Every structure is written in structure tokens, then in C-alpha cells.
Amino acid sequence: MDLPYRFGRYVLLKKIAQGGMAEIFSAKYLGESGFSKDVCIKRLLPVWSDNPSFVKMLIDEAKALVHLTHPNIVQVYELGRDGKTFYISMELVAGIDLRRLFQKTAEEGHPLPLKFVFYIVSEILKALKFAHQRKNEEGRDLKIVHRDISPQNILLSFDGQVKVTDFGIAKGIHRSLETTQHQIKGKYAYMSPEQARGETVDERTDLYAAGILLFELLERKRLFDSANDLATLEKVRKAALPDEALQNYPARLRAVVLKALQREKKYRHPDAADFLKDLQQVIAGERLETQAEEFSEYLRTLFPPAAFQNTRAENAFPAATGKLRRNFSKAGRPAGMFLFLAVLSFWLWKGVFQTGRQVIDTPPVALASPPSASEKPLTGSVTIDAQPKPARGVLKLGEIKKEFVTPFQLAALDLSRAQEGTVVLKSEWGQEKSEILQLSAEQPHWVRTFQFEEPRPAFLKVSARPWGEVTIPGVVSRRETPLAGVKLQSGKYLVQVFYPPQNQKLEQEIQLAAGAQLLCQAEFGESPRFLCR
């Protein structure tokens, strides 16, 4: 096929990449009265167009993406057919991918500013929140799980937008063709432990991958990286984190990251909204808010326009040089027949489902790998936080006993043998919670955020005849009656009422329960009395 090539209202301008099942082009949509729009076209290769199974896969992909119209997700415009060849028309993003940003900041030795780290991950979480909660026309949850949140699938436009692409291997009820039970999908170094074991995955798999991205952006090095695929998968399954990780960051930020990276998914954030809320609290606490305009200016400074003065298509695909390089973070050299079959299946699917891949993989950044377990003793950590307010606690672990105020972290704990201990936490209003903690080589990092229910306030009203001045030590002093709508926490209070003309003083100790409403009436004169009910 010679380029430019016209079919219907589209003109293919430049071939960007070709996988085993599909090819990607930059193109233009030609509308009425001279209207035109830059788009990306993904075409199923002719050799597969007669295969009903692969056509069905492409249709499944379009079905998933048609429900995902969101500023942080690459938009799909149309599923169509040119002769016998099926295609998907989608948004063309002019910018770079996150891997390219990793590489550039590493080359220049300038860490990505923390506010942009938070901005990128927050925008990813907004996309995941939308996708995970999406329903179909009948109101049923689509249960879409991306399963491949990795640097190559995060596009950063020069306008400062962050977009998630490649929902092509997403799992959801839209899918009409299921894969084998143990098929491994996604890039090895960004899988969740359950995904690497071939188990059933849910939205917490995507949150784990987002946690890996946050970790790597903060630490500026790969989390799970080994000489071969088998070793990488083994690290992912164990989900062991280097004990010195994140020590230069506030405890509350460490708690958020380590919660996202828990080996057991029941201990992670339950959904993207919860992860996003925790991260936004850190952003607000550190005063690191930013906007797309500021991020755009940063990207354009780091990648000046002079470096992208070729065609319009090349502006949108700055990492596409030469033919497509298949580099899945060093994945692709199978070891053993099972792994070979799994990887082969993954490649076949990945060839079709390179959804919206405007930016092609570049060689991995040469960053330091985490030290292996043989290089130093195995250590672990404990990270504890409390919401909605800080709490006081006591940690007992072996011979260690620590009193602390949340957020709290204890690192470099010796795990030459498994350890068991207890944590007791008390909120500022007296609620108490406790939990047994266990540390082992399989679960070296224990992270918990204790949720306390803030008690409902009690309300107090004080009246006096003929009048009086009310004092509640620590609350109000010499306030004239009537005193109404005083909001108090549950507990004991001393209420004093003073009548200056006769130098009379009445007082009573009261007990307020959460949510209670109490009226106190002081009567001065020959028979003074003080009643509260």
C-alpha cells in the first residue's frame, strides 16, 4: 500500500509501527467544507482480517474503549472497515511517553520535580477511577481492568495532559473471547503478584502498577529489575521492597506508596478513589499542587520544539525511530516451556491490542537494580497511619517497644527469622484499636492505615434567671446567658454560672455523650438551684 492512502473520509499519512497483528498510522479525517482532524488509525493486518477470532478481538477492544470517554484516556472515535480490513480511529496525542521522560531526566541528572510526580500519578488514578467504575447502557458494571499500566502506556502531551492508552488487553464483561486461565498479560516488571502468578485479577492490580510507577518516579530507579524474565517474575511474585526505600520522604507519603505495594491485595487501597484521596492529602500537606499549564511548560523546556521539527506525525511519535522495537522492559526471552507458551500467547494478544499506541517503546533506562537478597541480610519495615486525625500508639515487636504518634515508620528490621508483634492505637477522642502484625521473608513490609470514626458532637445550652455569666473551663469564659449551640466532644465538663448583682455562683459537673443535646437552667434568688437535663 502506497502512502498517502485514502479510504472513505480518512487519509493514511505515515506508518508509525507494526506488530504481529496490527499496524498503526498517523492519518487525517476529512470532513465537510474543508474540515480536517489529525487522528491515529490502527488497522488489523490483511492476513488476520479473514480470521473471525481476531476480528472479534478488535471489536471487543472497540467495545471497551467506546465507554471510556475521559480527559485522561486516549479517546476512540470509530470502529470501521476498509474493504475487508477492520480499523479503529482514535485520538492522536502529540507528546512523549513516561518512559521517555524517565530516560531524559536520567540522562540529564535532574530529578523530576516532586509536584510533577504527584501530578502524573494523580491523573493516572483519575483515569483508572473512571474506567473501573464505568457501566454499560443497562447500568451493569463493565469491570474493566487495564492490566498493563506501565511507562509506555502513559502518554504525556506537550499541552500538559496525562493520558492512559492501550486498554486493548483490558479485562471486562465486554470481552467475548476469553484467554486461557494461566495466560500472563502485561509487562513483567509492572505486574501485581497475583497477575504474575496467573491468578484472577481485579482493579487492585492496576493500583499496584500505579504504585510501582509512583515508587520509581520517587526513587528514580526500577523496582523489579533482573537479568532475565524468570528472575523478574520471581521478584514480582515475592513483592519484596528494598528496606532503604523512600527514607528521604515524609512518613505519610511512604505509607501511601507502601500501602499500594502490599503483596496481599486485601491490604492495598480498595479502589482508585481511595488511593487518589490519600495522595491528594499528601499533595495538600506538602503544598505541591500544580496544573497542566505548568507541566506543559516543563515538558516543552525539557523537550524543546526544535527537537521535533519533522512531520506532524513525528511530533506525535517522537520515540518512533526506525522499525518498531519490541522491548517489554527486557521481557521476551522465555525460560521453560510454560513460560514460553505464556509469553507467546501474550505476544499474540499484544500484537492486536496495542490500543492507541502513539508512542513506541524506547530502550530501557540504565538504572541501578535493587540489590539481591544474597548481598545483605533480609530486612523489613512497619508503617502505621491513622485517619482522619493523628493517633498515639504502642508497637511491640520482639524485644522492641515503641511509643509513637502517627504517621510512623520503623525500618531496617531484622527478618532472619519471622517476627510477630502487636500494635495498639488510641485516637484523640479515646477510641482504641489493636492488631497483630506479622513480618516474614514473604511479607517483609507491614503497612496499615487505621480508620477511626470521629464522634458526633454534643450540644449544650445554658440559660439563667434573671441572667448570668457562664464559664466552662477550657471552652468558654464569662459568657452572658443565654448560651446556645455550644458544640462539644463527648466527656465530662464543669459548667459554672455566676450572677454578679448578688455575687451568687452555681456549678455542676455534666457528662456528655456523642450526639447528645443538654439544657442547663440556673435559678438565682432566695432559693438558687441549677438543673441540667
Using one digit for the tens of pLDDT, what is the confidence trace for 213-226?
999 999 999 998 88
* Between residues 107 and 243, the one the model is more confident about: 107
Element (H, E) at 506: strand 504-512
Residues 431-451 pLDDT 10s: 899 999 988 877 778 888 888
Q: How far apart are CA 283 and CA 199, in angstroms?
A: 34
The pLDDT assigned to 345 comes to 36
Which residues neighbour 485 within 8 Å (Cβ) at sequence distance 6 or greater? 459, 461
Return residue ranges of the chain for CATH 1.10.510.10: 94-171+186-352
Residues 446-500 pLDDT 10s: 888 888 888 888 999 999 999 999 999 999 999 999 998 888 988 899 999 999 9
Single out the catalytic residue among 60, 97, 148, 225. Answer: 148
pLDDT cut 90: percent of the chain above it = 39
Residues 265-279 pLDDT 10s: 888 899 999 999 999
Return residue ranges of the chain for CATH 2.60.40: 377-451
pLDDT grade for 171, boundaries at 50, 70 and 90 = low
The pLDDT assigned to 307 comes to 54
148 as an active site residue: the answer is: yes
* Between residues 145 and 362, the one the model is more confident about: 145
Instruction: For domain 377-451, give its CATH number from 1.10.3470, 3.40.50, 2.60.120, 2.60.40.
Output: 2.60.40
464 φ, ψ (degrees, to nearest 5): -150, 150
The residues pairing with 81 across neighbouring beta strands, listed in sequence order, are: 86
Name the CATH topology of 94-171+186-352: Transferase(Phosphotransferase); domain 1 (1.10.510)
Residue type (1 letter), 4: P
The pLDDT assigned to 299 comes to 94
Mean pLDDT of the chain: 80
The pLDDT assigned to 176 comes to 46
**Average pLDDT over every residue of 408-415:** 83
Indicate the pairing of strand 445-451 with strand 379-387.
parallel
pTM of the model: 0.65
Peptide linkage before 4 cis (omega within 30 of 0) = yes
The pLDDT assigned to 168 comes to 56
Judge whether residue 142 has pLDDT over 60: yes
Place of cell 507528546: 95
Range in 27-36, 178-187, 389-398, 516-525 with the lowest mean pLDDT: 178-187
**Average pLDDT over every residue of 337-364:** 35
pLDDT grade for 243, boundaries at 50, 70 and 90 = low
Taking the domain 5-90, which CATH number applies? 3.30.200.20
Range in 148-162, 232-246, 356-370, 452-466 with the lowest mean pLDDT: 356-370
490 φ, ψ (degrees, to nearest 5): -65, 150
